Amino acid sequence: MWAGGFWRAALSRAPCGCRSQSAVAQLRGILEGELEGIRAAGTWKSERIITSRQGPHIHVDGVSGGILNFCANNYLGLSSHPEVIQAGLQALQEFGAGLSSVRFICGTQSIHKSLEAKIARFHQREDAILYPSCFDANAGLFEALLTPADAVLSDELNHASIIDGIRLCKAHKYRYRHLDMADLEAKLKEAQKHRLRLVATDGAFSMDGDIAPLQDICRLASQYGALVFVDECHATGFLGPTGRGTDELLGVMDQVTIVNSTLGKALGGASGGYTTGPGPLVSLLRQRARPYLFSNSLPPAVVGCASKALDLLMESNTIVQSMAAKTQRFRTKMEAAGFTISGASHPICPVMLGDARLASCMADDMLKRGIFVIGFSYPVVPKGKARIRVQISAVHSEEDIDRCVEAFVEVGRLHKALP
């Protein structure tokens, strides 16, 4: 009997438990091989454990003393704002820990409807719908809206959640080169045969800190009869004169059809996402968006925190205005020291290093000097474009920023990333 036949026959006579253990052993071998490959490539991602609340000053397990945090999406510093925390506690007391249900069964409370109305008012749209996260909002939108008769045109560097959401839909898919308006126009011409054409882009791109040219995108969309969708996760709350986002920053709020964004970054930092746009679209999503229909409602405490964060933002734009000066201070000092900082004028400030192992080692040495930053490498960013992504918060002081720059210079010289 040939070898393959012998083992097949032996396995057929083996007890089911033995075959099951053999399959688990095979799986473990495959997984260990994959994990070892990640370690060998220098792209292993360790999780540091924070033992305090989120903020510019934190405590990290295993590290003595306070740490300056420069890698959170806590753009406005509201994740630990006393009024935001109090609003969450009040919602918890009044509405309970959770709904134990999805929205359309018995999981919609008055605070959910109130927050949706507030979001729509903030973005100057007709209606809004809440999701457990913006990843879910992006997963729910394209499949519910677009059919095989339609087309979606996506920037090649869009967030993974947009890419995955587009994969779920049956529309014709076009990918245009990053921020390349000539390529987008060529794709729009090619897509004219389809019923609906939807241009999908991040407003601010989270890895490079660059901003979509929405004026040009909206002009092309109007010229070729397309709709515009913008993911504003890294813009809502702090870009634009009143923090409405990139569409306000670039003066095209009335030309962007659909906005998706998050409550988990500038707006309280907890969780939750949303879609805001035309009323009929939001109504359709309530009927067809699978992450909405089959996920539990947002917990009341999260809703309360986000609602208060929006209140604070709409009452005053003082926090928003402080962001630009602090961002410029960091960028200017780092570039003067000899570092290359990607993007422009966004509080995401990627310190470009190229080598994955260098980014990881420098981030580790920054922590030893009391600065919490993280190295980003493949597959989060393309190979050869590893970086340490620094994120400025409105609650960082000028002294915090200067201390971070000083540590970067010291570590950069140690690792020969600077002369």
Catalytic annotation, residues: 206, 234, 265
The DSSP secondary structure of 276-312, one letter per residue, reads EE-HHHHHHHHHH-HHHHTSBPPPHHHHHHHHHHHHH
Question: What gap in Å lies between CA 331 and CA 401, rounded to an integer?
Answer: 10
Residue 15: cis peptide before it, omega within 30 degrees of 0: no
CA of 36: how far to CAs of 25, 26, 380, in Å? 16, 16, 18
Backbone angles phi, psi at 85, to 5 degrees: -60, -45
DSSP 198-235: EEEEESB-TTT--B--HHHHHHHHHHTT-EEEEE-TTT
**Rounded alpha-carbon distances, angstroms, from residue 208 to 75, 211, 391, 392, 404:** 16, 9, 11, 14, 19
Contact 52, 66 (CB under 8 A): no
Contact assessment for residue 380 and residue 207, using Cβ atoms and an 8 Å cutoff: yes
Helix (H, G, I), strand (E, B) or coil at 152: strand
Rounded to the nearest angstrom, the gap between the alpha carbon of residue 400 and the centroid of all alpha carbons in its chain is 25
The tokens describing 233, both together, are 């996760």
Token output for 78: 């509201």
Residue type, 35: L
Beta-strand relationship, 374-376 and 127-131: unpaired
Structure tokens at 24: 């688990």
Sign of CA dihedral 319, 321, 325, 331: positive
Beta-strand relationship, 227-231 and 374-376: unpaired
Residue bearing tokens 């690792």? 415
